[in-house]
């Protein structure tokens, strides 16, 4: 994969329209409530920053960072937290903002962990969903794009910490052998 060139899957205009639509749905659902958006670092940071600027309701934001015990691109079923939220979510409506749902283990872990803080509700908003890869059944309430099983980079997502700044959602393809 290290020799691959990113190819555009979803361009910036398409992403922007979808983020605006998601923001409309989120604004409608949470109007008049106490919404906290919890962004999963680092990949979802670009999505969060675009999403909050399209919302027309007040929100609080916070961040978590996770590490998996496995390595590389293989999803690990064991997740641990390396940076926790700092504001109280007790009695508030929580929306977890994620870049991509793959096996679902990361979000299953977070849903369970955050529910011990007794929020009023917890839902998930993910820009991308690789549904065919799901190993654990978690409800993803707001989904930007359902995509095939491809390795995605750009718009915050990385391969080995590279490509996060690409403005389009891209996939990595192996270079053909010479």
Catalytic residues: 102
Stretch that binds ligand IMP, among 12-20, 87-95, 99-107, 114-122 (CB under 6 A): 99-107
Find the angle CA(96)-CA(120)-CA(107) to the nearest 5 degrees. 30
**Which one of 19, 101, 127, 169 is in contact with ligand IMP (CB under 6 A)?**
101
> Residue 145, interface with ligand IMP (CB under 6 A)?
no
Site string for Mg ion, 71-110 (x = CB under 5 A): ----------------------------x-----------
Shortest reach from residue 150's CB to ligand IMP, in Å:
7
Using H for helix, E for strand and C for coil, what is the string for 54-121?
HCCCCEEEEEEEEEECCCCCCCCCCEEEEECCCCCCCCCEEEEEEEEECCCHHHHHHHHHHHCCCCCE
Tokens 């989904």 sit at which residue? Answer: 143
Stretch that binds Mg ion, among 2-10, 38-46, 133-141, 146-154 (CB under 5 A): 38-46
Tokens 């390795």 sit at which residue? Answer: 151
**Which one of 22, 35, 37, 43 is in contact with Mg ion (CB under 5 A)?**
43
Closer Cβ to ligand IMP, 6 or 104, answer by number: 104
Closer Cβ to ligand IMP, 57 or 111, answer by number: 111
Shortest reach from residue 35's CB to Mg ion, in Å:
21
Q: Quick one: what does residue 127 bind among Mg ion, ligand IMP, none, with the CB cut-off 5 to 8 Å set by partner type? A: none
Chain-centroid distance, C-alpha 93: 18
| Calpha distance 58→33 (Å, rounded) | 9
Q: Is the dihedral of CA 66, 70, 76, 78 positive or negative?
A: negative
> For residue 62, with 0-12 CB atoms within 10 Å meaning exposed, 13-18 middle and 19 or more buried, which class applies?
middle
Stretch that binds ligand IMP, among 3-11, 18-26, 47-55, 103-111 (CB under 6 A): 103-111
**Residues near Mg ion (CB under 5 A):** 40, 43, 99
């Amino acid at each position: 994969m290290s020799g691959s060139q990113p190819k555009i899957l979803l361009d910036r205009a398409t992403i922007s329209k979808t983020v605006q639509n998601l923001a409309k749905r989120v604004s409608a659902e949470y109007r008049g409530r106490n919404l906290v958006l919890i962004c999963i670092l680092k990949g979802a940071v670009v999505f969060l920053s675009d999403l909050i600027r399209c919302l027309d309701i007040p929100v609080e934001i916070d961040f978590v960072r996770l590490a998996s015990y496995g390595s590389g691109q293989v999803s690990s079923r064991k997740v641990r937290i390396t940076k926790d939220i700092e504001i109280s979510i007790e009695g508030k409506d929580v929306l977890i903002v994620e870049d991509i749902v793959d096996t679902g283990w990361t979000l299953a872990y977070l849903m369970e962990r955050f529910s011990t803080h007794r929020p009023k509700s917890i839902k998930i908003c993910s820009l991308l969903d690789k549904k065919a890869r799901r190993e654990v059944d978690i409800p993803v309430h707001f989904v930007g794009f359902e995509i095939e099983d491809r390795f995605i980079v750009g718009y915050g997502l990385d391969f080995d910490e590279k490509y996060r700044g690409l403005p389009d959602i891209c996939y990595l393809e192996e270079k053909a052998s010479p």
